[in-house]
Structure 1
């Protein structure tokens, strides 16, 4: 286990700021250098897996798309199953969907109906907590599938967007952990 201060320093050193992407005025936080560094990616994977174990998760749900990259190896490391939450229309077979509002419109996420049950405790994993809309919808979707939400963990929270307030309300007492807050 990497101590929190060392982990934070390592992760921050591998996240690149990209100015004016995807539009002018936005400072994009690019995690591809972190993913390319085996030491940093391993430390991140272990921290996410430790959160799953600490919270008694039986499954990790990863949100499309970078939540897949982070959640799948964490699930393997924690010895639990991995469930992808996809954008609507991307999964074959029977699905459960959850709509949510965006700044300009709405979107929907889905999960295979049979992948979660009342026996599951689910940790929700994603790369960034921004406004909290997708994460909030994933909490609702996990509960609609009959599973219990064990908590949520993100690599990075964009604190100035105040998504924590929205997600904490949806989690209803389940823990929310951000490895970094920027």
Structure 2
């Protein structure tokens, strides 16, 4: 099975517009969200001209904002019988492990090709100018396990769809996808086929 990503032209068009961060409509107005959104830096023209890069490294530099980010996810998922937190390379590796530890789940990395030793299961997805792939260790997730997929950002939704496909192919139940940031204009949420998505902040056009 393949997943088609939205054209990069649409991404460039979106990122070249002026934007601001707003709290997601899917969260109550928790005061911690303001601190989180103000710590996310937007870097113009990175990694190429016309792109406004969403830099979460500045969030990580603030211990309170970083802790609040993790706490909000933990409060949502603790006690939900989730046994797997699957983090998408690379920034899903930042948020996934502390969430997994706090809720008593194992952390499973979903990596780019040829990064995991041993036997892997692969899920390919299509980009505008090529293909990409996520891989997971065979046996890392058992049939019937309840899984949470974690990444820092959802744009077109292609990578999240590939992650869900990987987990469902081995018999796991994907409970929800969780991201710090959503770019709603790219309609990635609509591509998740009804699977719940939880985000903390939206990057919305002015």
Same fold (TM > 0.5):
yes
1:176 aligns with 2:197: yes
Instruction: Render the CA deviation track for 1:85-114: whole Å, top value 9, x for unaligned.
Output: 000111111111000011211111000111
Please report how far the alpha carbon of residue 160 of structure 1 lies from its aligned counterpart in structure 2 after TM superposition: 1.4
Please report how far the alpha carbon of residue 24 of structure 1 lies from its aligned counterpart in structure 2 after TM superposition: 1.2
* Structure 2 counterpart of 1:150, from 153, 158, 175: 175
Q: C-alpha separation between the residues in 2 aligned to 1:84 and 1:177?
A: 20
Kept in 1: contact 2:79–2:103 (CA 8 A): no
Equivalent residue, structure 2, for 1:48 = 73
Instruction: Render the CA deviation track for 1:20-64: whole Å, top value 9, x for unaligned.
Output: 111111111111011111101111111222233264311100000
Q: Normalising by structure 2, report the TM-score.
A: 0.82
Gaps of 5+ in 2: 1-27
Q: C-alpha separation between the residues in 2 aligned to 1:14 and 1:8?
A: 10
Q: C-alpha separation between the residues in 1 aligned to 2:30 and 2:44?
A: 26
1:39 aligns with 2:64: yes
Residues 114-125 of structure 1 correspond to what in structure 2 (within 5 A)?
114-125=139-150
Please report how far the alpha carbon of residue 175 of structure 1 lies from its aligned counterpart in structure 2 after TM superposition: 1.8
Which has the larger share of helix? 1
* Structure 2 counterpart of 1:74, from 99, 108, 120: 99
Q: C-alpha separation between the residues in 2 aligned to 1:142 and 1:50?
A: 23
Instruction: Render the CA deviation track for 1:136-161: whole Å, top value 9, x for unaligned.
Output: 00000000121111111100001111
Any runs of at least 4 consecutive aligned residues in structure 1 with deviations exceeding 3 A, and if so which? none
1:25 aligns with 2:46: no
Q: Normalising by structure 1, report the TM-score.
A: 0.92
Number of residue pairs the alignment of both structures matches: 176
Equivalent residue, structure 2, for 1:15 = 40
Larger radius of gyration: 2
Equivalent residue, structure 2, for 1:89 = 114
Kept in 2: contact 1:18–1:27 (CA 8 A): yes
DSSP-derived class of the 2:150 partner: strand
Q: C-alpha separation between the residues in 1 aligned to 2:76 and 2:120?
A: 27
